A = this chain, B = another copy of it.
């Protein structure tokens, strides 16, 4: 039976554990998580395992990325189950710092990405991305990974982090992996545990609308946006926050007919739970053979 991965609780312990592999020229892969691990996270761990020599998973419910009134206290914390889920997955180290030590009350430094963090998620969560970029910069400094793995579901987040890593020359390749879904289409999320059975059924409207957008995509951003807004605006139990068709790099809304890459992104409340989902829209082409 496989052993559970080693756990480091402090920056010093992480650095000490990774100094040897780094000197030996081994590549480090980091999967940053807030715990409550599901198959989406495990798909990132497996990608890291395939792509790097040493796999580090951070488990840290980052208080900086929660706004006032959000679900910081309620956010699921399932450390023992997380360790069990990672056992046998070839994880070399779990970094699980204490919040009081890793985000001390007297810290004063923030990292901000201008522009990419104005709309979409940021419209509802104005301080969210500064919390993300600040802590991810810190995690990258502590762990010194060569590659870091993020889920596409948090589409804006991965775009912001990709930009930050480039702008600050962090030396980290940001790798984004596709959304992992339950068989009925629901995007996996640690917040799905908040959903009642009825809410879970209502929530399927998001992935269904995105799947329809993918099937129907003919390069017309306005038409696809209107379809998403129409479908999700009237879906039972769904209170739509936004539905957009965006440029995957700049995150700017696309207008009219477009022959480059595009991404559909949606956010909605189902009951008290805020869910997001996304789907790439293939470039329009007359020849898909």
Contact = CB atoms under 8 A, between A and B. Distances in A.
Contact of A167 (B24, B108, B163, B167): B108
A77 to B, nearest CB: 22
B23 A138 contact: no
Nearest to A139: B169
A141 B23 contact: no
Given A23-B25, A138-B169, A171-B15, A112 B115 contact: no
A19 to B, nearest CB: 8
Given A137-B168, A168-B137, A109 B112 contact: yes
Nearest to A108: B114
Contact of A133 (B109, B113, B116, B169): B109
Interface string A88-121: 0000000000000000000111111111100000
A176 interface: no
A23 B23 CA distance: 4
A171 B109 contact: no
A242 to B, nearest CB: 21
A142 interface: yes
Contacts of A112: 109-112
Choose among A108, A133, A134, A163 the residue with the greatest number of B CB atoms under 10 Å from its CB: A108
Interface size grouping (class) on chain A: 20 to 34
Question: Interface residues of A: mostly helix, strand, loop or mixed?
Answer: mixed
Contacts of A170: 141
A108 B129 CA distance: 13
A11 interface: yes
A109 B169 CA distance: 11
A133 B11 CA distance: 22
A228 interface: no
A164 interface: yes
A168 B114 contact: no
Choose among A115, A116, A169 the residue with the greatest number of B CB atoms under 10 Å from its CB: A169
Contacts of A163: 108-109
B108 A111 contact: no
Choose among A107, A111, A115, A116 the residue with the greatest number of B CB atoms under 10 Å from its CB: A111
Interface of A: 11, 15, 22-25, 107-116, 133-134, 137-138, 141-142, 144, 163-164, 167-171
Given A110-B111, A112-B112, A141-B171, 4 more contacts: A109-B111, A109-B113, A110-B114, A138-B167
Closest 7 CB pairs of A and B: A109-B167, A107-B167, A108-B114, A109-B164, A141-B169, A142-B169, A138-B168
5 contacts: A109-B112, A109-B168, A110-B114, A134-B168, A138-B167
